[in-house]
């Protein structure tokens, strides 16, 4: 996806009100993130795996996205985990609002592994989530914690950083 097409997609999505956690929009954003985050070489082999902590309506949307899309030539694999203790090497970890009270344990388990932590609860970006969905002015937006991403060995493109609320 070219820079301009992501910006157009982002602007179009930002015009749609974020009523009651529209997880289809979340999954579109998450797929877009895969193109603007660079993982170290050891994370660029095999399936592109996204872990989801606990139950969340995003699971079905991510699974539908995974059926239709790939990250480069890599198959996208969506896996539900029950607790932070099950966190293992993957590319991305989604922490739903219902599990936001476990963010400290999640961050402790991820530590410096190159796993992009994506959350959806106000305040989690400042606690160490790399990308945190929020609703701003009735629209879905995202915060970016670049310091956390750098600590984890992830490179965030300037295009993505420009679209984010930097924290």
pTM: 0.88
C-alpha–C-alpha distance, residues 95 and 51, integer Å: 9
Residue-wise pLDDT for 73-119, tens only, equals 999 999 999 999 999 999 999 999 999 999 999 999 999 999 999 99
- Please say whether the beta carbons of 30 and 62 come within 8 A: yes
**CB-based contacts of 81, cutoff 8 Å, min separation 6:** 51, 52, 53, 54, 87
């Amino acid at each position: 996806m070219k820079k301009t097409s992501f910006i157009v997609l982002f602007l179009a999505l930002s015009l749609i009100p974020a009523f009651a956690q529209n997880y289809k929009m979340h999954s579109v954003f998450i797929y877009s993130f895969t193109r603007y985050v660079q993982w170290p070489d050891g994370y660029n082999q095999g399936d592109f795996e996204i872990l989801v902590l606990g139950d969340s309506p995003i699971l079905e949307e991510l699974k539908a996205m995974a059926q239709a899309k790939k990250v480069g030539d890599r198959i996208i694999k969506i896996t539900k985990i029950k607790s932070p203790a099950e966190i293992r090497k993957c590319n991305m970890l989604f922490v739903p609002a219902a599990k936001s009270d476990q963010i400290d344990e999640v961050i402790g388990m991820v530590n410096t592994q190159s796993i992009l932590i994506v959350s959806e609860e106000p305040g989690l970006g400042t606690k160490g989530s790399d990308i945190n969905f929020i609703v701003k002015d009735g629209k879905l937006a995202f915060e970016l914690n670049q310091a956390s991403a750098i600590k984890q060995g992830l490179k965030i493109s300037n295009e993505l950083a420009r679209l984010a609320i930097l924290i």
